[in-house]
Amino acid sequence: MTHAAPDAVTSSELLSVVASRELAARRTVFAGIGLPTLATELAHLTVAPDIEVVYESGVCGAHPARLPETIADAVLITGAEAVISMPMLFGCVLQGGHIDVGFLGAAQIDRWGNLNTSVIGDWDSPSVRLPGSGGGVEVMANSREVFVVMRRHHPRSFPAELDFCTTPGPDRALAEGIRPLGSGVTRVITELGIMAREGVGEELRLVAVQPGVTVEQVRAATGWELRVADTVDEVPPPTGAELRLLREDVDPDRVYLR
Amino acid sequence: MTHAAPDAVTSSELLSVVASRELAARRTVFAGIGLPTLATELAHLTVAPDIEVVYESGVCGAHPARLPETIADAVLITGAEAVISMPMLFGCVLQGGHIDVGFLGAAQIDRWGNLNTSVIGDWDSPSVRLPGSGGGVEVMANSREVFVVMRRHHPRSFPAELDFCTTPGPDRALAEGIRPLGSGVTRVITELGIMAREGVGEELRLVAVQPGVTVEQVRAATGWELRVADTVDEVPPPTGAELRLLREDVDPDRVYLR
Amino acid sequence: MAPTDRTDKSMSMKAAIAAFVRDGATVCLEGFTHLIPTAAGHEIIRQGRRDLTVVRMTADIVVDQMIAAGCVTRLVSSFVGNSSAGSLGELRRRVESADPAPLAFEEYSHYGMICRYLAGAQRLPFYPLRSYGGSDLPSVNSDLRKVTSPYPGPDGGPEQIYVVPPVNPDVTIIHAQRADRRGNTQIWGLTGVQAEAVYAADKAIVVVEEIVDDEVIRSDPNRTLVPAHAVDAVVRCPRGAHPSFAQGYYDRDNAFYRAWSHISKDPQRLQDWLDEWVRGTADHAEYVDRLGEEFWARLAVGEALSEPVDYGRRL
Amino acid sequence: MAPTDRTDKSMSMKAAIAAFVRDGATVCLEGFTHLIPTAAGHEIIRQGRRDLTVVRMTADIVVDQMIAAGCVTRLVSSFVGNSSAGSLGELRRRVESADPAPLAFEEYSHYGMICRYLAGAQRLPFYPLRSYGGSDLPSVNSDLRKVTSPYPGPDGGPEQIYVVPPVNPDVTIIHAQRADRRGNTQIWGLTGVQAEAVYAADKAIVVVEEIVDDEVIRSDPNRTLVPAHAVDAVVRCPRGAHPSFAQGYYDRDNAFYRAWSHISKDPQRLQDWLDEWVRGTADHAEYVDRLGEEFWARLAVGEALSEPVDYGRRL
């Protein structure tokens, strides 16, 4: 991982800034805690002033006095615009089609943006039992598009074949005759670069590399024969303004920034 | 209609008192406004102290300062124990199986306790368009049993065949292969007497007549060949205590008592 | 974040109806006895909308008025009556004798309508319910269908259940006690099926007694039944639910419910009423003024405040 | 009516667990991050219940503890992790290497679990949802099945959708801020799926921070999420949701969540912890006392009161 950004930009800062830019003109984001929180909070201050984060726990329009430590942190509730039940949140808001962008993480992602969050190894006797879907299956099936942020870009997390597909993208759903609402994963943001796809029928393509990273490095870190866009841009490094907002306004207590 | 009860008992009073007695040991009642209100309020003061009325509008455990004029009267809400949404009320409380007795009325009832509240005449061009089901279909399908109070006992409202079956009892449901929760109509209370049935496969039988009414009068007022129980009791007339409670405590302003 | 102009959805009733209710549209008006959006219905009449499909569980006075004004060609409902106060004259004439024109009517039960909203709001192809077995309703409504459960029934054999299709109105209109300018809407007392009806719709208009400061809404986020992301227009229209009631604001006008049975029985008298009170008023404010302060004083209610709850703050 | 002895459902935790949680039962504990019924789980451990099927969306610390105490043979869940703070050591040992015994696990997604509660609460044979198409989950969970809609799909052809079966626990246990003695239960902040989980169950235990006077509940009936008719026992148990939080009462003990990953990683350390804090305490009051006032002061929260609403009264 080499990137000589100004001010010794950390990996968290880089990923947050890059993800925040992808949220330009988006309205509703379904986000977990951590990097997605940083990215959406920064986007709110920069490219997407009207953005609303909806939390899996039922919080809409949060105005937290402190940066939340979990998606259900008490500071998200006090002063929020609405707190609704989980049947309403998952049924009417998410499955109802009100989410523009869903953020997801995974232990493994494949070239179509299918995700594994269940097991490493066999489901019946796994070498590692992971937490499972949570709301991931629903976020993928019902958001217009999904952004995935992966801290580690490594062939084990970008395998040619998933150990288990917990959360299918639309290609797998359609193959079974089920029509999902959105495009599935459209952006994968890692320390090495950005992969993108438009939707059904398309593999992820490398569209940008982080400063100082080569296309070959990304290919080597990916477990399948990675497609590469005709022109691969270098991601513009975080600006001074972006870093200042992130460090001073979004996460001054370094809850998530490392 | 002749019944020489003490103190010139009115028809409303008679029906309310008789219905209230049938609520002994019942816990949850789904009731509309009018006679069912009087009957359940009186039962609460007499034979069923723990009775709870659940209203179609979403009110549970009402403690109205005045007798309510509709099932959604503001006086039912202020001071109630719970006010829930209609999806919760119909889905979890009613269909969920929490109602012991549902009260229903109808324009027509047949010998199996099936009800018509939709039309007189053909559905497509009716001679009279009635209000329709409301929640009647659901009350019948999901209450343990249903009481019907009919002010007028007349062959037109007790026909051999309904003009339209809005609200089927369990016999009709089972004939279609659908298994309802409860027994359907188990009591029909009219100015002439009480008809009863235990459940599926049984026709309504005359089990009691109001004071001064003959079995023959009831038969003549019924549009089908009415079955009669081996022993037909005379309904004990309202006691002085029942009438006093009804007139002084339940409905002192004569909202429903006529 | 502070509200910006871009998230201020407040507008006049005239503008909201003009923007979101088109001829031929499917329009849902919800509110079960409580908070009926009457003023919105009147503005639809004033603007002369035509060929509407109206979706409403309890088709009552406002629906009878919209039908009489010629706005409605199709009605989807589970109760077509004037509460317990009598009949809807215009609706009965239309259905019983196509006088002066027919009205297409889709008949459901209450829970059937609720499940249609649930399916619409949750983007489901159908919603199952334990109603309709043995009813004649499926014989006059071909949208009441059956599905076989993929799990064994209680007797081990296959189990069938009725389902209803989703309803997705072009616009849903509800009345509420209060909202902020973005559309975060708080309702108390009977809450009916309003939230689901809003989520089922493509667009939503929320008519409120009061538009309040953000801080009021945010002091009690659990009271927000309809979050801003589901709302397209916020219309301030005090007393806009008359003759129904707004819990804590004004009581139900039971006398008008009783009167409507008589007014609507006579087609000319009904049209005269519309001329005077709807077509003859510029907006709901004029309707309210004409009724007069003495009238409104009779519907006034006393105070019964909820005890506050503590949401807490991190120390 | 005034509460009578017959409608007073308040009892001790010990009595409630003894009465309603039997060996071999299906026990649902709900509360999504907020209001987790930990104290009830601890009492189940103290009473040595065996062969339980535990149903819980987010199987977290309390479930890991119940598994480690040998109470649980089957788990139905959609998230088996220690929040974002790490792993559940005991659960992983059971699933990864049947150490010291296997654990049967039925894996769902969050909405799949929610829909199972909805189906259970609404007495439906199944509940449809737009999840699972293309997932491997149906290959390891044969209860994820498909139904063909009886209405044409968007392309005019037949449309298939996944469904889940109802769950009907023998008993559901939730934690709430307050209730009256009859069981009318008020919750604010995150309300999760508690009401549906209660309605899905045969019996329901509500554990509360406070039992309050009837008047408190009745001043705000919309705040009552679980009406009395659905509740069988009301247990007063302050701080019974620790290490989770109770909005307005105490904050989340994030340090304990982080610590649990370490405690649970070592089987002996885990058993020692249970010996000291669960099996070595008579009840939750003793657990609370042992933690000490200084500890609780760190989790204390400041005040943020909701603005009251006016329910009105007839004049």
Give the pLDDT confidence of A206-239 residue by residue, as tens digits.
999 999 999 999 999 999 999 999 999 999 999 9
Chain A contact set for C222 (CB, 8 A): 83
Residue B68 forms contact with C (CB below 8 Å): no
**Would you state the pLDDT for residue C138?**
98
Q: Report the residue of chain A nearest D105, measured CA to CA.
A: A124
**Would you state the pLDDT for residue D2?**
40
Radius of gyration over every alpha carbon of chain B, rounded to an integer in angstroms: 18
pLDDT in tens, C76-94: 999 999 987 789 999 999 9
Q: Report the residue of chain A nearest C196, measured CA to CA.
A: A92
Chain D contact set for A135 (CB, 8 A): 109-111
Other Cβ atoms less than 10 A from the Cβ of D305: the count is 14
The Cα of C215 is separated from the nearest Cα of chain A by a number of Å equal to: 8
Residue C2 forms contact with D (CB below 8 Å): no
**Would you state the pLDDT for residue A7?**
59
Residue D244 forms contact with C (CB below 8 Å): no
**Would you state the pLDDT for residue A2?**
42
Instruction: List C-alpha distances in Å: D160 to A91, A137, B216, C259.
Output: 18, 17, 58, 50
User: Is the Cα dihedral C250, C255, C256, C258 positive or negative?
Assistant: positive
- Alpha-carbon distance of A73 to A66, in angstroms, equals 10
User: Quick one: average pLDDT of D164-192?
Assistant: 98
User: Subunits touching A (CB < 8 Å, at least 3 pairs)?
Assistant: C, D
Residue B60 forms contact with D (CB below 8 Å): yes
Chain C contact set for B173 (CB, 8 A): 133-134
**Would you state the pLDDT for residue A144?**
97
**Would you state the pLDDT for residue D3?**
39
**Would you state the pLDDT for residue A258?**
74
**Would you state the pLDDT for residue B254?**
85
* pLDDT surpassing 60 at residue B3: no
pLDDT beneath 50: ranges in chain C? 1-5
DSSP 3-state percent helix, strand, coil across chain D (nearest 5) = 35, 25, 45
**Would you state the pLDDT for residue A187?**
97
B166 and C135: CB-CB below 8 Å?
A: yes
Residue A43 forms contact with C (CB below 8 Å): no
Asked whether the beta carbons of C211 and C152 are under 8 A apart, the reply is no
User: Subunits touching C (CB < 8 Å, at least 3 pairs)?
Assistant: A, B, D
Asked whether the beta carbons of A246 and A28 are under 8 A apart, the reply is no
Q: Say which CATH architecture domain C13-108+169-298 belongs to.
A: 3-Layer(aba) Sandwich (3.40)
C136 and B164: CB-CB below 8 Å?
A: yes
Residue D212: name the closest of D222, D229, D204, D224 by CA: D224
User: Quick one: average pLDDT of D131-138?
Assistant: 98
Residue D122: name the closest of A168, A137, B141 by CA: B141
H/E element holding C160?
A: strand C160-164
Residue C308: name the closest of C220, C226, C241, C230 by CA: C220
SS3 for B228?
A: strand
Residue D96 forms contact with A (CB below 8 Å): yes
The residues, ordered by sequence, that sit 6+ positions from A122 with a Cβ below 8 Å of its Cβ are: A163
The values of phi and psi at residue B88, to 5°, are -65, -45
Q: Domains in chain B and their CATH numbers?
A: 6-250 (3.40.1080.10)
Residue A182 forms contact with D (CB below 8 Å): no
pLDDT beneath 70: ranges in chain A? 1-7
User: Quick one: average pLDDT of B151-156?
Assistant: 93
In chain D, % of residues over pLDDT 70: 98
Whole-number average pLDDT of chain D:
96
pLDDT in tens, D16-61: 999 999 999 999 999 999 999 999 999 999 999 999 999 999 999 9
**Would you state the pLDDT for residue B65?**
84
Asked whether the beta carbons of D8 and D182 are under 8 A apart, the reply is yes
User: Subunits touching D (CB < 8 Å, at least 3 pairs)?
Assistant: A, B, C
pLDDT in tens, B81-106: 999 999 999 999 999 999 999 999 99
Chain C, window 225-244: residues with a beta carbon less than 8 angstroms from a chain A beta carbon? 226-230
User: Quick one: average pLDDT of D216-234?
Assistant: 97
Instruction: List C-alpha distances in Å: A80 to A61, A75, A76, C104, D189.
Output: 6, 9, 6, 44, 10
Asked whether the beta carbons of D36 and D244 are under 8 A apart, the reply is yes
* pLDDT surpassing 60 at residue D272: yes
Give residue limits of the domains in chain D. Answer: 13-108+169-298, 126-164
Give how far the C-alpha of residue D99 lies from the chain's centroid of Cα atoms, to the nearest Å.
Answer: 26
Tell me the β-bridge partners of A103. Answer: A147
Q: Answer yes or no: is the ipTM higher than 0.90.
A: yes
Give how far the C-alpha of residue C87 lies from the chain's centroid of Cα atoms, to the nearest Å.
Answer: 19
pLDDT in tens, A12-50: 899 999 999 999 988 999 987 788 889 999 999 999 998
Which residues of A belong to the active site?
56
Tell me the β-bridge partners of B52. Answer: B28
Is the whole model's pTM more than 0.95, yes or no? yes
Per the residue annotation, which of B13, B41, B52, B56 is the catalytic one? B56
The Cα of C109 is separated from the nearest Cα of chain D by a number of Å equal to: 17
Residue A204: name the closest of A239, A244, A160, A256 by CA: A160
pLDDT in tens, B188-198: 999 999 999 99
